[in-house]
Amino acid sequence: MKILLTLLALTLSSLVNADLRGTGDMGIIIERASGSVLVVEHSGETVLHRIEGLGDLSHASAVYSRDARYAFVFGRDGGLTKIDLLSGTIIKRILQGGNSIGGAISQDGTLVAVSNYEPGGVKVFSSEDLSLVADIPAIPAGGKSASKTVGLVDAPGNRFVYSLFDGNEIWLLDLSDPTKPDVQRFTDIGSKPYDGLISADGRTYMAGLFGEDGLAKLDLWYPERGVERILPNYGRGEERLPVYKMPHLEGWAMTENFAFLPAVGHHQVLVVDRRNWSEKTRIDVSGQPVFVMARPDGRQIWVNYAFPDNQWIEVIDVATMKIIHKLDVGKGALHMEFTPRGEKVWISVRDEDAVKVFSTADATLLKTLKALKPSGIFFTNRAGRIGL
Amino acid sequence: MLFQRIHKTVLLALCLTGAGASASVSEQRQQELIYLLHQDCGSCHGMTLKGGLGPSLLPAALKSRPDDYLRHVIAKGVPEQAMPPWEAILSAEDIDFLVQHLTRRTDVPEMNQ
């Protein structure tokens, strides 16, 4: 009897153990045309689940709960969907706006903020049950109608920072007391901010400007000093090319000494010295950069491009500031995501319905996964990063 | 106002180029253009074309816009509004097809307009 019980206990525990796994090597891939996401793992590079019914996922992005088990997916149609990576299911889905562009999770993990085009503003939800906590319409100073909001990121102190595309403002939203949201506005920050990023230490917020050259920078250690313009003249005297796709800014583009930024309307990556925020150099590239992303160790920068050059990926060696690889990965290379320590990079290739995994050591193709019109790839190591 | 200004330029452009005559595009090119419309124009106008950073391109939203105006906006862009000119990439026939497709399409359910 005793032996039987022991056997039973052993069997049970092994069954339970078979189901246990960590989420640290997991992630999701947005399938933009079919309203679905793939849950993947990057140790064996396999697809674990496909979750359907997430609505319009063009331009969708995601953030993670602090336990890296749940993803919050922000859809174009205003959908906010909380999914469970382990079970591969939707926990809850709400339609919170008419047209939205992305979101962020608060420092303490309790609040999820969503940036909306229509109606313009930011809404904040409980990460637990997606109930509404705060609704902050983005009415610019002296304006009547709400602006589209872009470049929403989290900042230390349970704050969020974002920019007003039509209002030329940056807003610092303090939710340290969620019942009393407090907004600090910075006006006249530059023309048409199209996206924003915050440095990994949560100190520096930058908004890229579409309506003029340069970027707006806000030092969150000293918000009272206001917004400063950097690289105001990077395109001066040169004709700007048509912009077929707005660049993206994300905290990935910062290395220890430099920030690497897409030039709007030019085939260039701008390199900024982080000590004094002056221009260090410009690197000529094969198209208009969309994402400019540093490998986690900061030694390489991987760049993808806007239509009609979106089959190219180029790799910049930071030590020499030279392009060391030019890869033809296939039409519609929309997004890149590094594994947490950067030995590999996953690249979504929309027009081939594929996600391609490359070694970053020598830029060789290691594996191709099938995915339907893939766009954003988001690994769970973002859960512990400010601004992602 | 912008609309009126552009409209005037369009009329002038039309007189000069004779654009606006309908020309045919091959079946294959039509598919390519529809793909481009949703995937690449979609990066600003939304993949379902209901709008994003750029305005909605659904038939209801375009109802008040004359075809000539739409042709002009696609070809020349609206620089101050972040709309790029497509004439370097699309032929006049391509643009004609897109305008026809956008304004005459019947595959959009009423509720989405």
Judge contact between A318 and A304, C-beta under 8 A.
no
Is the CB of A312 inside 8 Å of chain B's CB atoms? Answer: no
> CA A364: distance to chain centroid?
25
Max avg pLDDT among A359-368, B3-12, B42-51: A359-368
For residue A211, give the chain B residue with the closest CA.
Answer: B80
Contact B47 A56 (CB under 8 A): yes
**pLDDT bucket at B39, cuts 50 / 70 / 90:** confident
Is the CB of A176 inside 8 Å of chain B's CB atoms? Answer: no
Is the CB of A159 inside 8 Å of chain B's CB atoms? Answer: no
A138 Cβ contact list (under 8 Å, min separation 6) = A120, A121, A122, A146, A147, A148, A149, A162, A164, A167, A171
Contact B40 A148 (CB under 8 A): no
Closest CA to A204 of A120, A298, A276, A304: A276
* Chain B residues near residue A304 by CB distance under 8 angstroms: none
Q: Which of A145, A164, A244 to mutate to test the interface with B (most CBs of B within 10 A)?
A: A244
Per this entry, what is the length of chain B? Answer: 113
Q: Nearest CA to CA, how far is B51 from chain A (Å)?
A: 8
Judge contact between A93 and A54, C-beta under 8 A.
yes
**DSSP alpha helices (H): ranges in chain B?**
2-17, 27-36, 42-45, 59-62, 67-76, 92-104
Contact A210 B50 (CB under 8 A): no
Q: For A246, which of B46, B53, B85 is closest by C-beta distance?
A: B53
**pLDDT bucket at B1, cuts 50 / 70 / 90:** very low
Instruction: Tell me which amino acid residue B76 is.
Output: K
Judge contact between A286 and A305, C-beta under 8 A.
yes
Contact B82 A192 (CB under 8 A): yes
Cα angle A120, A124, A126; round to 5: 155
- Residue pointed to by tokens 């191709």: A368
Closest CA to A386 of A159, A59, A156: A156
Size of interface A-B (CB pairs under 8 A): 64
| Cα–Cα distance measured from residue A43 to residue A296, given in angstroms and rounded to the nearest whole number | 17
Contact B42 A58 (CB under 8 A): yes
Q: For B40, which of A33, A117, A307 is closest by C-beta distance?
A: A307
Q: For B48, which of A56, A211, A246 is closest by C-beta distance?
A: A56
- Residue pointed to by tokens 């330029």: B9
At A201 the pLDDT is 92
At B82 the pLDDT is 83
* Chain A residues near residue B53 by CB distance under 8 angstroms: 101, 117, 148, 150, 165, 194, 246
At B71 the pLDDT is 95
Q: Structure pTM?
A: 0.88
| Cα–Cα distance measured from residue A293 to residue A382, given in angstroms and rounded to the nearest whole number | 14
Please state whether A237 falls in left (phi above 0), alpha (psi between -120 and 50) or beta.
left
At A271 the pLDDT is 95
Q: Which of A36, A76, A95, A351 to mutate to test the interface with B (most CBs of B within 10 A)?
A: A76
Contact A246 B52 (CB under 8 A): no
Compute and round to an integer the Cα radius of gyration of chain B: 14
B36 Cβ contact list (under 8 Å, min separation 6) = none
Q: How does pLDDT run across A196-236, given as a tens digit for each residue?
A: 999 999 999 999 998 888 899 999 999 999 999 998 887 76
Q: Which two tokens stand for residue A195?
A: 């996206």
At B11 the pLDDT is 45
**What are the residue ranges in chain A where pLDDT is below 50?**
none
What average pLDDT does the segment B11-28 reach? Answer: 56
Lowest mean pLDDT among A14-18, A239-243, B12-16, B84-88: B12-16
> CA A155: distance to chain centroid?
14
* Chain A residues near residue B88 by CB distance under 8 angstroms: 242
Contact B46 A58 (CB under 8 A): yes
Closest CA to A73 of A114, A117, A34: A114
More confident residue, A18 or B90: B90
* Chain A residues near residue B50 by CB distance under 8 angstroms: 56, 77, 99
Q: How does pLDDT run across A118-133, given as a tens digit for each residue?
A: 889 999 999 999 999 9
Q: For B82, which of A56, A59, A210 is closest by C-beta distance?
A: A210
Closest CA to A33 of A377, A373, A378: A373
How far CA A130 is from CA of A110, A299, B38, in Å, comes to 10, 39, 30
Q: Nearest CA to CA, how far is A335 from chain B (Å)?
A: 13
At B21 the pLDDT is 40
Determine how many CB atoms are found less than 10 A away from the CB of residue A21: 13
ipTM comes to 0.74
* Chain A residues near residue B39 by CB distance under 8 angstroms: 332, 350-351, 373
> What is the rounded (10 degree) CA torsion for B42, A46, A340, A326?
-60
Where is A18: in which H helix or E strand?
helix A2-19
Judge contact between A261 and A273, C-beta under 8 A.
no
At B53 the pLDDT is 85
Contact A117 B51 (CB under 8 A): yes
Q: Nearest CA to CA, how far is B52 from chain A (Å)?
A: 7
